[in-house]
Structure 1
């Protein structure tokens, strides 16, 4: 394909890029430099075609380049950062008695425990067949349990910033050999007040692997580019399992408020930027209709019940509310409309939250009434 053809290809998938030396996007899974072992997992999971963010972010990630990805929730970002991350880890020595106490090779941070656990489930689908261990570090679980899960080391840790900072503060976890960092839903982490925690964690990263401020990538264009060149561009080859590269930092966000831009400027080195569609818009599969209901609470209750009875939408459904006390009230309205319903909000403990989500997935619950705690699920 010529340059014009690649431009049209990117336009077809609403892919925009900035940063220079951007490799061509993936046209298909098999037409790529993704290792065969990972491609076999992609086939087993059943991914037919890469999503737009996967098409462009994966080739950039394979070049071990820092990346800013602007894409909506539900656009396939997890595989977009997990696949390059696992390829990076494959160059590093196996965890042993000598190095497992030095912490993980890769760290993924997410704003809520529910999203962290969702990322964990998806990451394990790739990591377990490759022999890698993934551990989640989130609030709502005992520190002792999480410390036990890390007893044999873990190549990948998925964490919420608050609990992760707590474990670092208490010297339960170190990041002495962390070389791959992912911040997912960075704007949401900032909204939830995690900016200082993020800064603390990123400052705890070892300087040994930091890219110099004037670091310049030398990346060949095209999805069939030589992965050995990518490895050499990011570090140096010291034997098949002794490969040593600079740390890769990636940031994914639906929007880029000033605080997130400041984080990116401080901790990412000459990043490539990928924007899918228009920042802040819903994915194409979401139909948005806005209806204003005038009047008091009785009018709102009646309209909600009418919609639940007449729209004919199949479960599962989620009704979002702005406060947990409102959720407990609205769930009764939903049940009065003849729907099996439950709630999920910050007043629930972790076991209750997981039970509510699982009930929705299993079909035992038709409607989940929730605060924005689950807006990232």
Structure 2
């Protein structure tokens, strides 16, 4: 045999044990109960019933064919499937009645439906038509069927309840009805005569009256036209159809001034208060000063400027209550410049008698900000403005006063030092302005503020009578060249201590309130987040800064000085540039920090409440309260660093367990904002449900007056 011959493979016999095991497994699987869905069970039962019925009919037909019976097969018995004899007697009568019902009145009745809404036939496994017929034939019709309806029961249960909702079916107007196609609006509305009520519409209405009323329609139409003409003439005569912005100043009525004040949120109290100014040209300011205003870029006056400037120009004492960032600086600077321009110029003899005007502010930064703003207007008019603040040598400030100054801007502490050391006297000061008065009281400046006001001359004090409200009497000179002292106080809130000072040193003041005192400005969206722990807050701060939603400059507030540098270091580690501002910084460091933030060299400022008042950094997009302020007034001023000059801003506040004392006030102030929403966690917090009763709390930053200015 050759090597290329094929190899024959032997066929192995099947394994008998494996076959038996396989057969046993199949038998066990077949013997197990198998779950059959209901629909499948019904289908199998229907098929089985159909097969049995066909088999029964087939056997019955074969039986009749075998016996030679030509009669139709009898109906099956109601109890057996076998054929039965035709019934006679009463049962037959019932059967005939059932046949009549089937073939007569109800011959075309629809198939019966069971409670589940399925048809009672063989296809659903329920009663078939033949079974129903047999049942009716032998048992009679069903007379005790239930008529219960859950829908009817619900309707009966709700019929007695009064529904407060509007039912659209109750609307009797039909927009498609031609009678409602042309509905006329009333000729008079809240704002006055409506210009849209044209003569053509009135004529069409008069014509419709003529057609609908042949007897009296002509007279009614004539009266309608005459009434329309009278209304037009009255509206033109009273100017009701024009907005106040479209009227001349001489056409303004009391009603127009009321609407004007409502538009700008102006509220005034006091006797003989003049109307606000609508624009700069109607302000009564000198033309030279108006030219400077337009050159500086003040296009439209703010609400506090509209209301306060006309009052101040009448030599009235004034209390201005307005939210931060509302333009209060120009509101008191412009009348001040008009006041001192009417006084004789300073000479070599009078320059040592002190300034004509004194402006007090709580912080060095605010003083320097007011000084810069005042020089924009005072320098072109030939007036000198000097600031006196802590942090600079007293000799340097005395050197600045050597040639005299018409206006001095100062912090209370350093000004008291100058008065006590005879560097400065206030012999001829007749104009005093206290800016951020509530903040000065909070910082412990009540005592130095009282010393300064007591150092003013008393010969030119206003009388505490109705004469203090007379502009002509108060504008006169007292004793030859002096004028009555004019005192103004600007504040964002009115605590009792500020009211006490106002009652003591102001004479019959006019009170101007813009918006609601103590509330945040409506251009700031306030957000709060409950985050406990410094590390979690730093991670959340990093997420906010990296989100790209907010552009620099950004201000981050903390409560204590030592946290400023720590948070600033972490921000620098995140890749952002940051500077700090707190009470331990020198004056040069403070000025450098603010300058770098304003000119765009630095992205983020980390500060204490020192930067919460009066600091004006343009275009701040975001304020983050890394630590919540200890009182709601400080919180209001913090978030007021953004959303200034009509621009929008966002304030995000981190809250923790240590802030329970201010949660109630915080919820109230957020709920009053039109663009902010109170989060659910704050709304439901236990501490936010009622105002807590607590004493005054002092923080590390709120050190009182220490003799040389506040220790910020």
TM-score w.r.t. length of structure 2: 0.50
Residue among 515, 536, 539 paired with 1:277: 515
* Structure number, greater radius of gyration: 2
- SS of the equivalent of 2:359 reads strand
- Secondary structure of the residue aligned to 1:369 is strand
What's the RMSD between the two structures over aligned residues?
1.4
Distance apart, 1:375 and its partner CA: 0.9
Alpha carbons 1:15, 1:276 under 8 Å: kept: yes
Q: Secondary structure at the match of 2:343?
A: coil
Cα distance in 2 between the residues matched to 1:26 and 1:289:
36
CA–CA distance in structure 1, aligned partners of residues 475 and 305 of structure 2: 24
Instruction: Note the 1:69-218 alignment, pairs <5 A.
Output: 69-217=320-468
Once the two structures are superposed, residues 28-86 of structure 1 have per-residue CA deviations (whole angstroms, 9 ceiling, x without a partner) of 00112111111111000000100000000000000010000001121100100000001
Answer whether contact 2:302 2:326 (CA < 8 A) is retained.
yes
Pick one of 586, 589, 603 that aligns with 1:366. Answer: 603
Q: Distance in 1 between matches of 2:477 and 2:436?
A: 33
Q: How far apart are the structure 2 equivalents of 1:236 and 1:356?
A: 46
Deviation, 1:342, is 1.1
The whole-number CA distance in structure 1 between the counterparts of 2:466 and 2:420 is 31
Match of 2:505 in 1: 267
1:250 aligns with 2:488: yes
What does residue 678 of structure 2 align with? Answer: none
Residue 10 in structure 1 maps to residue 261 in structure 2: yes
Work out which of the residue numbers 542, 545, 566 in structure 2 matches 1:308. Answer: 545
Note the residue ranges of structure 1 that are not aligned, 5 or more in a row: 220-229
1:267-290 deviations in whole A, cap 9, x for unaligned? 000000000011112223322212
SS at match of 2:529: coil
Q: Do 1:57 and 1:69's aligned partners in 2 also have CA atoms closer than 8 Å? A: yes
1:36-55 correspondence to structure 2 within 5 Å = 36-55=287-306
> Which residue of the other structure, out of 17, 31, 34, is the alignment partner of 2:282?
31
Equivalent residues of 1:75, 1:283 under 8 A apart: no
Q: Is the 8 A contact 1:91 1:243 kept in 2?
A: no
2:471 is equivalent to residue 234 of structure 1: no
Q: Which runs of 5+ in 2 are unaligned?
A: 1-251, 616-712
Whether contact under 8 Å (2:315, 2:475) holds in the other structure is no
After TM superposition, the runs of 4+ consecutive aligned structure 1 residues lying more than 6 A away are none
Match of 2:311 in 1: 60
The CA deviation string for residues 289-319 of structure 1, in whole angstroms up to 9 with x for no partner, is 122213x221111001111111521111100
Structure 1 partner of 2:24? none
Deviations 1:130-150 (A, max 9, x none): 000000010011101100000
Measured after TM superposition, the shift of residue 218 of structure 1 is 5.3
Counterpart contact for 2:388–2:409, Cα < 8 Å = yes
> Where does residue 333 of structure 1 map in the other structure?
570
**Which residue of structure 2 aligns with residue 288 of structure 1?**
526
The 5 A counterparts of 1:318-357 are: 318-357=555-594
Paired residues in the alignment total 363
Q: Is the 8 A contact 2:435 2:489 kept in 1?
A: yes
Residue 222 of structure 1 aligns with which residue? none
Cα offset, 1:237, TM superposition: 5.3
Q: Helix, strand or coil for the counterpart of 1:119? A: helix
CA contact (8 A) 2:426 2:455 kept: yes
Give secondary structure in 2 for the equivalent of 1:22: coil
C-alpha separation between the residues in 2 aligned to 1:138 and 1:196? 17
Q: Deviations over 1:130-184 (max 9, x none)?
A: 0000000100111011000000000000000000001001111000000000000
Q: More deviation in 311-320 or 165-174?
A: 311-320
